[in-house]
Structures are given as structure tokens and as C-alpha cells.
Structure 1
């Protein structure tokens, strides 16, 4: 009887703690490397977060995009300088190869069925890197100069399969078709 009471008490104490620890936001995240970001946003779908620093002098943006993902999936984040949806997006892509190494590259999304092969973007991308940590994929880079302002249409995505080092199509329903918005990189 004493064991049952102890288990019940532990469940009552530990249960709420596990809910608190899983309620993550961008503001309470600490990166594994000693890098900091002044601004961040909890993106509304796909358990994703965006962190950034905007440098007004150089018109560059240092971004880190994080999303929950399995080791066999992929993530992508990008800016669409010409429209508000997926087509036209200049994207950063990350996934884990068969050897367990993270790969990151850039690609242009030119259709609703993109090839997702490496391609240069319409603006410079520096310091592109990716990591897999605590069931999250993180991709980061410095973008720019971006001379057409500080407000951009952004798109983010995740998929469940990579074949021959090429991300395969993501689902086309629910949160996967709502993963776009507008962001002013001067906002905090």
C-alpha cells in the first residue's frame, strides 16, 4: 500500500514538471555554441522557432531556424522576396545523411514540386551550418546584404524522408500548408 501511495505522489509531482519542461519557447532556448540572438519568434506551426540578429550597417541577417525532427527527416527555412507562398522562396535546407552527418545547403523553390537540389540563392549566404541536437534540427547562416528592406515573407517546412541526399516531398495538408508568414527583422 505504501508503494502505491509513493507512486501516486511521484506521478502528481513529476507529471506537471514534464509539462513545464516540454513547453519550450524561443526565448528560453540556449544554443550549444556560445552564440546569442537578440530576437526570436515561436513560429505558429510545425514546432519551429526562428532566432536572428539584424545588422543594419551591412544589411545582413544572422538566422538560426530550429524545428523538432527525427534523424531521417529534413527541415527548410527561407525568404520569399517575390511572393507570399512557397514558390519563389530562397531556402536553407538541412538533413542528416546516412553516415549521421548533418548537411546544409541552399536551394530555390521554383514550383510546388521542387527538386530540392543545391542551388545558389539570389543573395549571398555565409557561415551555413546545421546540427542535430535533442530531437531538433538547427540550420544557421548569415544572409545578405538584403537591400530591399527589413520585412520579408518567410516560409518554413519539414519533411519525413530523404533519398539519395535529396529531401523528398512533405505532406500537403494541415500545418504543412500553413507554414508561411511575414516578419520584420527589426522586431524583437
Structure 2
């Protein structure tokens, strides 16, 4: 009985230490030393969003990062017309067959999107991606955007084929990866 309690205590301590050492958005340092004033730990898919809102220009510099393997992909976007996947204006990133990160924009107009590069309904500049410490990171400047609250969507998938991200799983956290965000907050 004493051995069982000791094992239980050790497991509890180990899991608490893992939780406390996890990189949240507040204690994350970007390799290029970019300092984001605002951030949120998204509730699913081990994802985080960092941003700086420029009220004079109406633009927002974002960095979306999520846990991912080198063979997977990530996406983050704004849905200006609804609160789900369809209508999302997305930023996508993955490693190409040469091991270099690729980032591009696409519109999600169906539950089976082609995921090909397309312009968005708002300007996007300084789009880039990197892979570091088992995370993919997409960075971009969006806008000008109108002030207000935005419907956001984020996603991850396990495979890329011929330069096209393949469908993500359709259960649990993959279906709950939506929310709202006010860049001014």
C-alpha cells in the first residue's frame, strides 16, 4: 500500500512539473525576439496566438504557433461571415519535401477545401513560417481590418501530399477549434 501511495505521489509531482514547464503564450520567447503585447492560449490543439494591434494603421501582426510534427500542417484564420470553418480566410503552413517551411493564404469555402493558394478578402503581408522545438509558427501582418470582434478558426493535420495539406481528423478538438477574439483586448 505504501509503495502504491509513493508511486501516486511521484506521478502527481511529475505531471505538475510538466504542466508548469509547458510553454504558454505568456512565457514564450520568439527566436527573432519579436515582442508581442497580447496573446492567448487557445483551448485545443496545443495552440497559441500572439498579436500586436496597430490602431493607427488598423493592422494586426499575428504569430500563430501550434505543436506539430515535421510532416503535418497548421492553419489559422479569420471567418468574417460566420463562426465555423466555411468562410474562413486562412493562413496555412507546412514543411515542403525539401524540409523548408512554406506559408500561404487560402479560402475555406467547403468542408472539403482544395487548400490551394488563394488571396484573402483582406490584405496580408510579411507572411512567413518556421518550425522550431516541435512547433510550427505562422507569422503575418493582416489588414487593415475594421475594429471589432472576429471569429477565429485554427486547425492542424497530419499529412501533406504533393504540396497540399490533407484533411484533418473530424472529431473532438479538431471540431472545437473555433472562437472569438477582439484584437483590441
TM-score, length-normalised on structure 2? 0.90
* Alpha-carbon distance, 1:34 to partner: 1.8
2:149 aligned partner = 151
- In the TM superposition, residue 63 of structure 1 has moved relative to its aligned partner by 0.3
| Structure 2: distance between partners of 1:41 and 1:87 | 23
Q: Report the Cα distance in structure 2 between the residues aligned to 1:40 and 1:19, rounded to whole angstroms.
A: 19
Q: What residue number does 1:79 align with? A: 78
CA distance in 2 between partners of 1:18 and 1:99 (Å): 33
RMSD of aligned Cα (Å): 1.6
Alignment of 1:59-74 (within 5 A): 59-74=58-73
Moved over 4 A (4+): 16-19
Shift of 1:24: 2.3
Number of equivalent positions = 175
| Secondary structure of 2:113's aligned partner | coil
Indicate whether 1:94 and 2:126 are aligned: no
2:113 is the alignment partner of 1:114: yes
* Unaligned runs of at least 5 residues, structure 1: 1-7
Instruction: Give the structure 2 partner of residue 185 of structure 1.
Output: 183
Could you say what secondary structure the match of 2:71 adopts?
coil
Which residue matches 2:137?
138
Instruction: Provide the rounded CA distance (Å) in 1 between the counterparts of 2:135 and 2:59.
Output: 25
Residues 20-78 of structure 1: CA deviation (Å, up to 9, x unaligned) = 32x22100000000211000000000000000001111110100000000000000000
Q: CA deviation at 1:165?
A: 0.5
Cα deviation, residue 150, structure 1: 2.8
Cα deviation per residue 1:61-104 (whole Å; 9 max; x = unaligned)?
10000000000000000000111100000000000011100000
Q: CA, structure 1 residues 19+44, in 2 after alignment: closer, same or farther (shift >3 Å)?
A: closer
Give the Cα–Cα distance (whole angstroms) in 2 for the partners of residues 43 and 18 of structure 1. Answer: 18
Q: Distance in 2 between matches of 1:145 and 1:57?
A: 10
Unmatched 5+ stretches in structure 2: 1-6
Distance in 1 between the 2:128 and 2:178 partners?
A: 22
Distance 1:175 1:75 in 2: 14
Aligned equivalents of 2:58, 2:122: Cα separation in 1: 11
